[in-house]
Structure 1
């Protein structure tokens, strides 16, 4: 049976995102929380460990993707630099039918995520160990995904080069950020143009308890990725396309 925090979470998700979570899904979130705390003692996955904060700042925050119509309709999702699995694993729990690929450069994070996938019984989740710059050159991943996400990974000008090569033409990259990204957006104009993309829109919101501000930056892919991108591993973040 769901406890008070889980009932609050379920009710807010229904009210804010029109998503209905059943008891089994609530159980998956709780198992995810338990695994996150267990593994966090062995490796640095998150600085947020208090249960209520994990539910709000990781699980609820990840599900804000459901405010983006293109995200709710996506069949294939790639999460770049997912770390402990945010936003893709919470989103996968809420949308079991979506196919998810998670790309991360750290092998031990991939081992953690494999444990999460196994214990939660998640299907159609592919974990890829490698640098985004290298994986984006693999034909199976290039220009292939309906939805690509990155959560607070890097400044947008560099992030675009890591993420947009995975997005298929006509689909969306959603960068999940904190507030006040006007300068980042301005800086990223050149990278969007060079990577055959444009800003679609931004969506501002607040977390329900902490009231901290969030912004979803939705970028539309217009055409296939030019062959010169992404550049070699490490370059996009060190020398962004400004």
Structure 2
């Protein structure tokens, strides 16, 4: 996906990027490649692939959910900033918090936010399991996002404790989401969520399967969740 295709396909979805926003994506790409030489941020470094598989893929969440409102968003395990930083560039009013367990990635993201002049972006070096137990953080976000972090039964325990009541958890998934949702239905219910919708589509150009899972927080998450670091992955709620 070249820059013209990127701009055109977003424009078709009602997302019109200014020259400044396009420059921010260009600088994002340059910094991603530069820092990737020092640390493992992504296996994808070809420019057209980064624009398609990282930038455009992240923004597809906005095709199925309204990000034009004033929202507080927490991105769990964002890695190199996906999906939250591309969404922040497109919707500068969003208040973004990113939690990641690797301090090197947090250092990159802080540098990135400074270079791109992104306001209202906050970074936390923490495990999602301990982050979600902090009284000032727990159930405080309008939207929580996660992209390709873990299977749904595990993801729900990492993410739903952070979502406020009536808020939403958005999971960006590739294939096999139907099986994951079947296995994760108990976790969704146990943690206070309700499956609202699953949007299936193909990523353009390469036609690979993508899914946006929308889970609404209907009731408070029981206090015992999330469990200790590592436990959700070893003993998922299924």
TM over 0.5: yes
1:154 pairs with 2:150: yes
Partner of 2:43: 47
1:190 pairs with 2:186: yes
1:145 pairs with 2:129: no
SS at match of 1:123: coil
Count of residues paired in the alignment: 238
SS at match of 2:210: strand
SS at match of 1:103: strand
CA shift at 1:160, angstroms? Answer: 0.3
Partner of 1:126: 122
Q: Is residue 74–residue 147 contact of structure 1 (8 Å, CA) maintained in 2?
A: no
1:225 pairs with 2:221: yes
Partner of 1:21: 17
CA shift at 1:181, angstroms? Answer: 1.4
Of 5, 9, 12, 1:12 maps to 9
Which ranges of structure 2 fall in alignment gaps of 5 or more residues? none
Over 3 Å counting, the alpha-carbon distance change for 1:72 and 1:202 in structure 2 is farther
CA shift at 1:72, angstroms? Answer: 4.1
Q: Is residue 74–residue 146 contact of structure 1 (8 Å, CA) maintained in 2?
A: no
CA shift at 1:8, angstroms? Answer: 1.9
Taking the aligned partners of 1:12 and 1:62, their CA distance within structure 2 comes to 13
Q: Is residue 67–residue 91 contact of structure 2 (8 Å, CA) maintained in 1?
A: no
Q: Runs (4+) of structure 1 moved beyond 4 Å?
A: none
Which structure 2 residues correspond to residues 45-194 of structure 1 after superposition, within 5 A?
45-73=41-69, 75-194=71-190
1:202 pairs with 2:198: yes
Taking the aligned partners of 1:91 and 1:140, their CA distance within structure 2 comes to 25
CA shift at 1:68, angstroms? Answer: 2.5
Q: What's the TM-score once normalised by structure 1's chain length?
A: 0.96
Partner of 2:207: 211
Taking the aligned partners of 1:161 and 1:191, their CA distance within structure 2 comes to 7
Taking the aligned partners of 1:99 and 1:229, their CA distance within structure 2 comes to 25
Which ranges of structure 1 fall in alignment gaps of 5 or more residues? none
CA shift at 1:206, angstroms? Answer: 1.3
Taking the aligned partners of 2:149 and 2:65, their CA distance within structure 1 comes to 23
SS at match of 2:233: helix
Q: What's the TM-score once normalised by structure 2's chain length?
A: 0.97
CA RMSD of superposed structures (Å):
1.2
Taking the aligned partners of 1:91 and 1:60, their CA distance within structure 2 comes to 10
Taking the aligned partners of 2:172 and 2:109, their CA distance within structure 1 comes to 20
Q: Is residue 71–residue 147 contact of structure 1 (8 Å, CA) maintained in 2?
A: no
